[in-house]
Amino acid sequence: MSESTTLSIEALDARVRSILGRAGLNPVQAGALARVIVAGERDACKSHGIYRIEGALRTVKAGKVNPLAQPRLVPDQAAAIVRVDAQHGFANAAFELGLPALVERARRTGLAALVINDCTHFSALWPEVEAVTEHGLAALVMCPSYATVAPTGGIRPLLGTNPMAFGWPRAGQPPYVFDFATSVAARGEIELHRRAGKQLPEGWAIDVDGAPTTDPEAALAGAMLPFGGHKGSAISTMIELLAGIMIGDLTSPEVLDVLGSTTLAPVHGELILAFSPQAFAAGRSGDPFARAEGLFEAIVGQGARLPSQRRFAARAVSASQGITLTEAEVAQLDRLEALGLDAIT
């Protein structure tokens, strides 16, 4: 006999907004956070679902994010750059404020960037990538994290897990989207191995002396490794440069200095590039969206998969059947709603 509870997407959204409001977030912050948390649950992406509420509240309680922040658009400094000052709130609210301006700009100039400064990262980048593609634009998004990854050939944490995400719009169906860490594995996966008493696969991490290790404890004390060897290390360095230094925001080592912990959501900036395929393809033969479908068909036709398909399948199920939470998950929501920030120890 199941004790699970099924809620509509809208009902879960209202529930999460209420919890976040009770914990002191203003409606702008609570609304934006609730949307990505519910998107995670909706897509059966549990690691970015309601599980994340506690982390967000822990960061609020630690005073490292402003729950009352009202992000603001910074007056234009350059024609292809839209900048939002997150006012030390969560990135999600700042993104929502900047998105219409980014879309308008990219349509007009063909290519535009949204820079988010002084924000606290929360959740994945795919909700933002998908939001851009809904306007018929392609998106490339990146941000630093905190220093937990050694550059290839190095021995100490310096780079972040620095995620990179990309999206391409598709008519009548979810976009082509990838979103991944530029480290071999996420830090959370190493933590899960530690708790389970399991060895890590080879190639994930090095110990404090820079020697390869499969011991999770040694890995957490040492450093993670970039994906794809020196190539992934170079991409991760590019992300520090473009989405940290270039936009006048923190690098991953600086984030760690500021926070003093990898258990709080990182404070930094974010870079979102939006491309107008219509503008880029202007005057050339062929419709870019139709041609892209041909490429996707060729990928799927040989048995390879497009990224994010598992999420999209779960999304379709959630849309028709709602989102099902376990008894423990509902109890956790009840507890958070009753106690607010006092639930965070």
Q: Please name the residue that has the structure tokens 């202007």.
A: 282
Element (H, E) at 271: strand 267-275
Let me know if 191 is a catalytic residue: no
Q: Report the length, in residues, of the chain.
A: 345
Window contacting its own copies (CB under 8 A); options: 41-49, 201-209, 293-301, 314-322: 293-301
333 binds its own copies (CB under 8 A): no
Say how far apart CA 247 and CA 91 lie, in whole Å: 15
- Nearer Cβ to its own copies, position 40 or 253? 253
Q: For its own copies, which residue of 63, 172, 197, 303 counts as binding (CB under 8 A)? A: 303
Residues 127-156 that bind its own copies (CB under 8 A): 138, 140, 150-156
- Annotated active-site residue 252? The verdict is no
Name the DSSP letter for residue 149.
Answer: B
Within residues 170-189, the interface with its own copies by CB under 8 A covers: 176, 178, 180, 182
With contact defined as beta carbons under 8 Å apart, do 91 and 120 qualify? yes
Q: Which of 135, 186, 275, 315 binds its own copies (CB under 8 A)?
A: 275
232 binds its own copies (CB under 8 A): yes
Is 297 in the active site? no
Cβ 133 to its own copies shortest distance, Å: 12
List beta partners, residue 268.
119
Please work out the total of residues on this chain that contact its own copies, with binding judged by CB under 8 A: 75
Q: Smallest distance from the beta carbon of 246 to its own copies, in angstroms?
A: 5
Rg (CA), the chain: 20
- Give the whole-angstrom CA distance, residue 45 versus residue 53: 14
Identify the residue among 4, 6, 27, 79 touching its own copies (CB under 8 A).
Answer: 79
Reduced to 3 states (helix: H, G, I; strand: E, B; else coil), residue 46 is helix
Q: Which helix (H) or strand (E) holds 258?
A: helix 252-259
Give me the active site residues, please: 47-48, 189
